[in-house]
């Protein structure tokens, strides 16, 4: 059975999350339904990572096995025809049987978008965290370099999902501002449940004056969830990219290469 990888984008507001759940709409559910319609039998779809309800994706990666070979170009179109408008297949490639979207990932990148102004463009509201009060982003910029590297991010994890080992490595962290539009970028080898949203919510608390910078830095040595800030809302978060070596899109069989 040939194996394929697909890069998927979706609007998270339509779903209870990526992972299939009983009686609730999920991205995995609609992908598997589309693949079953093409193959005539159930097909299991494996994602590079999970996203919570309301969280979007620009570059989620999934893999799946089909009972017969497909041309990646035609497979992308056939899958898209069976998906709702809130989900799009960006590219498809045939990959080795050993490829695994989750376990072969070297890093994952999330981006969070925030709008900091009294008024917000209505077209952006479904995709940003709208914070109306003034914030001191100079403090945030000074703290971001401290997030890079390996830390105990347990304080930035939903309490019920905190693992025994809550150490993770952030490879890149940045924050760029253009007027009221703020973009956070986090790339790491792994993330805890709600980690990015709690990080952003806690940084917002520092910028608002509700937490001292020193208290934020102390949280990188461990701590309780109650000591960190609020969880930023899901609509501002995007699962942006996944890194592999070699990249599945580097093969000449990928849909992406056919349309360049």
Structure tokens at 7: 């890069």
Length of the chain: 260
At 58, give phi and psi (nearest 5°). Answer: -100, -30
Instruction: Report in angstroms the alpha-carbon separations of 23 from 26, 124, 189.
Output: 9, 30, 32
| Cβ within 8 Å of residue 226, ≥6 positions away | none
CA within 13 Å, CB half, 205:
19
Q: Identify whether the C-beta of residue 174 lies closer than 8 Å to the C-beta of residue 188.
A: no
Active site residue: 52, 71, 165, 189, which one?
Answer: 52
CA 30 to chain centroid, in Å, comes to 18
Quote the CA–CA distance of 253 and 87 in Å, as a whole number: 22
244 is in an annotated binding site: no
Instruction: Report in angstroms the alpha-carbon separations of 82 from 17, 36, 73, 86, 253.
Output: 19, 10, 15, 12, 22
Clarify whether 97 is annotated catalytic.
Answer: no
Residue numbering of the annotated binding site for substrate: 110
Q: Which residues are catalytic?
A: 52
Residue numbering of the annotated binding site: 110
């Amino acid at each position: 059975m040939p194996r394929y990888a697909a890069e998927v984008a979706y609007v998270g507001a339509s779903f209870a999350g990526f992972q299939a759940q009983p009686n609730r709409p999920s991205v995995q559910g609609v992908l598997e339904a589309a693949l079953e319609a093409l193959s005539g039998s159930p097909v299991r779809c494996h994602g590079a990572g999970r996203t919570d309800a309301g969280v979007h994706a620009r570059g989620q990666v999934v893999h799946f096995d089909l009972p017969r070979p497909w041309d990646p170009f035609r497979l992308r179109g056939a899958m898209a025809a069976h998906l709702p408008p809130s989900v799009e297949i960006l590219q498809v490639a045939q990959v080795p049987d050993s490829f695994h979207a989750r376990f072969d990932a070297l890093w994952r990148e999330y981006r969070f978008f925030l709008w900091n102004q009294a008024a917000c463009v209505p077209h952006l509201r479904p995709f940003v965290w709208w914070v109306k009060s003034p914030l001191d982003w100079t403090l945030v910029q000074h703290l971001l370099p401290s997030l890079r590297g390996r830390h105990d991010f347990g304080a930035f994890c939903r309490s019920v999902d905190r693992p025994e080992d809550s150490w993770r490595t952030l490879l890149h962290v940045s924050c760029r501002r253009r007027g009221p539009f703020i973009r956070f970028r986090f790339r790491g080898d792994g993330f805890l449940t709600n980690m990015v949203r709690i990080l952003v919510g806690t940084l917002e608390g520092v910028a608002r004056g509700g937490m001292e910078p020193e208290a934020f830095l102390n949280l990188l040595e461990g701590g309780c969830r109650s000591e960190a800030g609020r969880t930023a809302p899901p609509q501002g978060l995007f699962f942006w990219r996944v890194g592999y070596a070699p990249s599945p899109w580097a093969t000449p069989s990928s849909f992406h290469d056919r349309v360049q």
